[in-house]
Each structure stands twice: as structure tokens, then as C-alpha cells.
Structure 1
Amino acid sequence: MPNVFALVPARGGSKGIPQKNIAPLLDQPLLAYTLQAAQEAGVIDTTYVSSDDDQILSVAHYYGAERLKRDPHLARDESPTDPVIAEFIHRIKPAGKDIIVLLQPTSPLRTAAHIREALAEFRDFPTCHSLISVYEISNKYMKAYVGGSEFLHPLAGEHTSYTRRQDLPSLYMPNGAIYIFKVDDFMREEKIPRTHIIPYLMSNLDSLDIDTPADLVIAEQRLRERAVQNEK
């Protein structure tokens, strides 16, 4: 049976919120919500936190995760995620058929149930190369035009700009909460697979991604609402 590794990339630097990944949210650091969801899901063999920051790694250890000290050049503002995953694979050396569940620490409303359901969906589609969590957005944007040159160009092709909305396909936006893929599929190009992708649908509310102090306020309100609902 392949192992399932959760990888949580949590660098130290942040412009919008200082030390965003461990910013206080109710009575815990932001990172804790992701680590607890991974643990409570019951489907993750080992959870790793990749960070360049010792304080973040200390929080990871406190909440029961394994620590991976990230190379500093992979922790800049402009650093993409793919090399961070590659570093994890080269250092931990999981088997080719092992599964990586990438969990961004800025998604505190993603729950253990979301992780369980997403992994089950991934396993039910053996021909897929990756799964990404998404939320549905209005398909009206398929009627948009792209500017920047002398003439406007239809974003999704000439026919869509004159098609009724009810005849257009559904649109989904990645929310960054969950990415799932096998080690072999990642290592083909050392990238999260960009083809044969399946979606895991989440609600707009649960898809909140923390980027500003206002997002923390929204997350706090939503978590309080959940706590009240769970008490009923």
C-alpha cells in the first residue's frame, strides 16, 4: 500500500501579514489548523512542514509534524512551490507510487473531512495525474474579452462571447487548499501535473485563503460559527 505524505509549505517571510503562517487565529497559530486537519483526517501517514524559519518549525514540532529545513533560496517572495516539493522528494525519498497531499497553511477552513474526501476521490480515478481543490465561480467570465492590443480578443473563443450563460460550461477556481499527486507523476517534469486533473469541489466559504488581516477576521468569524454549529 503506498504511503501518503502531507507536505505543508510554510516559509517565514510575508509582506501582507508579518509571519503570516503562524499569525494568531483565535487561540492558535494559523499553521495549527492545517496540521490538525491532516492529523484528524486519519488518512495521512506522515505530515511534513517545509520552512526556512525556525519559529515556524518549532510550531510544527509542537503540533506533531516532522520538520524539513528549507533551502533559503526556495523561500523568497517569488519562489514557486514546485522546487519546494522537489526538495522534499529528493531529501525524504518517497517511493514512486507514494502519494503527496500538498496542504497550504493559509487555508484554515479546510477540514479533516475535506482531506479524506479528496484523497478518496483521487484514489477512485486511477487515470488522473493530480487532484486540485476548487470552488465554483460564475461562468459569465467566459464571455470576457482580453485587451492589451489594438483589438479585443475573446478570452475563451469567438463563439463563447455570444453564447447564453445557461449554455456555457461551469467554471472552477483553484483555492489552494489541497493538491494531490503521486511522486512518479510529479517527477516526470518536477512539477505538479498539469494534465489529467480532477477537481475536488469545496464551498466558497471553506475556500478562504488568508492573504490580508481582513481575511483573518473573516476566518475567525467562520470558525466561531462552526463551533456554535458543532455544539448544537
Structure 2
Amino acid sequence: MSKVFALIPARGRSKSLWQKNIAPVLEQPLIAYSIQAAHDSEVIDAIFVSSDDDQILSVAHYYNAERFKRDPHLAKDESTIDAVVAEFIHRMKLAGKDIVILLKPTSPLRTARHIREALAEFNDFPTCQNLISVYEINNAYMRAYVGGGEFLHPLAGEHSSYYCRKDLPSLYMPNGAIYIFKVDDFMREEKIPLTHIVPYLMPASDSIEVCSVNDLQLVENRLRERINS
């Protein structure tokens, strides 16, 4: 029988914010929100934090997540998330039909409900190879031009800049909160699948990714709104 694994990738250090993944957010480390959401979803068989950093792994253990000590060469600036996932799958010997839910710790506003709904949606699409969480953005960007050379070029096609917004397709931006895929789909190329993708729509207000001190403040404000609502 297939199992569902949550993988929270959290390397040590950060260029933009030192030890970002365990930065305090309303008296809890940032990563704790992702671990707690995974636990509270009650749809995950095991929760792992992948890190090269012993301090982060100690925090993960405190919040009842399994510790997965990452190879240090996969914790560099140029390391890819695909390589991190591949290491986890190989070393844990996951089965082909097992499901991986990738939860980046920099998305603390993702809740247990979001995880439950996303997994249910993933399971509703048997031909889906990857589900990603997104939020809707202004489709007027479809009318934009790309620069960088002598001339401008339409971003979305020859006549896109002349369309009315109502005639343009909807646009969705990935927010980094949730990725869901089966092991065998990942292992075809040892990459998170880039085809047969379905979206899980989240509000923009829950889609803040923490990259800076300012983002931490925005997240704290949103969490206070939830507490007071």
C-alpha cells in the first residue's frame, strides 16, 4: 500500500536572512509552522526535515518531525531541490506509488486545510504528475513586452499586447507552499515533473514566501489577523 511522505527541505544558513528556516515568528521558529500543518492535516504517514544543519534538525525533532541529515554537498547555493528530493527517495527506498508532499518552510501561512485539500485534489486527477500551489495574478501581464535586445518582443505571442483582459487566459503564480507528486513520476528523470500539472489555488494573502526581514513582519501580521478573526 502506498504511503504519503512530507518532505520539508531546510538547509542551514541563508544569503538573505541568517538561519532563516528557524527565525522566530511569533515566538516559534519559522519551520515549526510547516511541521505543525503537516501533523494537523492527518493525511501524512511520516514527516521528514532534510537539512545539513544540526540546529535545524534539533528543532525538527522538538516538533516531532523525523530528522534526515542531508549530504553537505546538497546544501550549497547551487544545489537543486530535485537533487534534495532524489537523495531522500533513494536513501529512504520509497516505493514507486508512494506520494511525496514537498513543503518549503518559507511558506508558514500554508495550513493543514490547504494540505488536505491539495492532496484530495491530486488524488482526484489520476493522470496528474504534479500538483503545485498557486495564487492568481493580474492577467494584464500577458500583454507585456520582453526587452534586452534592440527591439521589444511580445511576451505571450504576436498579437497578445492588443487583447482585452477579458480575452486573455488566467495567470497563476506558484507560491512555493505545496508540491505533490508520486515517486515513480519523479524518478523518470529524477526531477519534479514539469508536465501534467494541476493547480491548487490559494489566496494571495496566504502565499507569502519568507525571503527577508520584511517578509517575516508580513507573515506575523497575517498570523495575528488569523488569531484575532
Normalising TM by the smaller chain, what interval?
over 0.9
Question: What TM-score do the two structures reach when normalised by structure 2?
Answer: 0.99
Indicate the residue corresponding to 1:187 in structure 2: 187
Query: How many residues are treated as equivalent by the alignment?
Result: 229
Q: Which runs of 4+ in 1 moved over 3 A?
A: none
Indicate the residue corresponding to 1:157 in structure 2: 157
Q: In the alignment, does 2:227 pair up with 1:227?
A: yes
Indicate the residue corresponding to 1:81 in structure 2: 81
Indicate the residue corresponding to 1:49 in structure 2: 49
Percent of aligned pairs with the same amino acid: 73
Contact 1:106 1:209 in 2 (8 A): yes
Instruction: Give 3-state SS (helix, strand or coil) of 1:198's partner.
Output: strand
The AA in structure 1 aligned to 2:95 is: A
Alpha-carbon distance between aligned partners in 2 of 1:190 and 1:159, rounded to the nearest angstrom: 37
Indicate the residue corresponding to 2:170 in structure 1: 170
RMSD over equivalenced CA pairs, Å? 0.7
Of 169-178 and 142-151, deviating more is 142-151
Q: In the alignment, does 2:25 pair up with 1:20?
A: no
Alpha-carbon distance between aligned partners in 2 of 1:61 and 1:113, rounded to the nearest angstrom: 23
Instruction: Give 3-state SS (helix, strand or coil) of 1:158's partner.
Output: coil
Indicate the residue corresponding to 2:7 in structure 1: 7
Indicate the residue corresponding to 2:61 in structure 1: 61
Contact 1:135 1:173 in 2 (8 A): yes
Indicate the residue corresponding to 1:40 in structure 2: 40
Alpha-carbon distance between aligned partners in 1 of 2:5 and 2:181, rounded to the nearest angstrom: 10
Instruction: Give 3-state SS (helix, strand or coil) of 1:184's partner.
Output: helix
Q: CA-to-partner distance for each residue in 1:75-104, whole Å, 9 max, x for gaps?
A: 112211000000000100111000000000
Alpha-carbon distance between aligned partners in 1 of 2:228 and 2:164, rounded to the nearest angstrom: 42
Contact 1:49 1:68 in 2 (8 A): yes
Q: In the alignment, does 2:98 pair up with 1:102?
A: no
Instruction: Give 3-state SS (helix, strand or coil) of 1:148's partner.
Output: coil
The AA in structure 1 aligned to 2:79 is: S
- Equivalent residues in 2 for 1:198-209, closer than 5 Å: 198-209=198-209
Alpha-carbon distance between aligned partners in 1 of 2:213 and 2:176, rounded to the nearest angstrom: 18
| Structure 2 alignment gaps of length 5 or more | none
Alpha-carbon distance between aligned partners in 1 of 2:89 and 2:150, rounded to the nearest angstrom: 46
Alpha-carbon distance between aligned partners in 1 of 2:45 and 2:81, rounded to the nearest angstrom: 22
Question: What TM-score do the two structures reach when normalised by structure 1?
Answer: 0.97
Q: CA-to-partner distance for each residue in 1:133-166, whole Å, 9 max, x for gaps?
A: 0000000111011111222111110121111111
Alpha-carbon distance between aligned partners in 2 of 1:93 and 1:159, rounded to the nearest angstrom: 50
Indicate the residue corresponding to 1:125 in structure 2: 125
